[in-house]
Amino acid sequence: MEIIIHGTGAMGSVVRELATEDTDIKVTGFADELTNEEGDVIIDFSHFSRLNTLLDYANEKKIPLVIATTGYTDEIYNKIVEVSKNIPILLSSNMSLGVNLMQDILEKIVPILYGNYDIELIEKHHNKKVDSPSGTAKTILDVIEKGCSEKMEKVYGREGIKKREKNEIGVSVVRGGTIVGEHSVLFCGNDEIIEIKHTALSKKIFGIGAIKAAKFLVNKEPGLYEMKDIFNNL
């Protein structure tokens, strides 16, 4: 399999390192802006400002695309959906198996716990991450909201003198040091706390997931795929 890596930052470098250890993979491109690279699939770990151009490139070349970049606008998301009608695209805010299993767990327990527990989300990342909350945190929030029977109000950080409302989801963001990534959902009830937590200890887990996604996407029909489509077949 020939892969093109779009994005030469920390994660792009991790993917390239992992790819060189896989005898079934050849890296045919490693760049922040693609010009004339050819391959079986593109893995994107770039910056949201480059997604518009990337989508045009992949669409023109008819190359399947794994998008792991976060922070994009609704306009770009809509373009992703449109382009996926022509080529297969796998879109995920987090390439980790553990995070995706965490979301599955939340889908099951939120409808049960909602109403009797206050829900709080805490996410932590390194000091170079530019988007807050993280794309993974936003995905987790979507999962939580879908499991609640009434509209929830997201409260980002807390300040001042105000009592917590029942229909709030508290969101706290930490940025510091070299934290790879940590996401915790707390269900705080009377005299007990249930916590669902995922901690990434290395960036390699995201690179491994991205390569799995790339292998999955080759020869797939056009459409918009997610990590669940891979892990459900493991």
- Phi and psi at 80, nearest 5°, equal -60, -45
Which position among 61, 79, 126, 129 bears the catalytic label? Answer: 129
Residue 129 annotated as catalytic: yes
Rounded-to-integer distance, Cα 177 and Cα 112, Å: 36
Query: Which 3 state secondary structure label does DSSP give 30?
Result: strand
Q: Note the residue count of the chain.
A: 234
Query: Which 3 state secondary structure label does DSSP give 163?
Result: coil
Contact 57, 34 (CB under 8 A): yes
Taking the CB of residue 198, how many other CB atoms lie within 10 A of it? 21
Query: Which 3 state secondary structure label does DSSP give 167?
Result: coil
Contact 85, 69 (CB under 8 A): no
Which position among 6, 124, 125, 212 bears the catalytic label? Answer: 125
Q: Would you name the residues annotated as active-site residues?
A: 125, 129
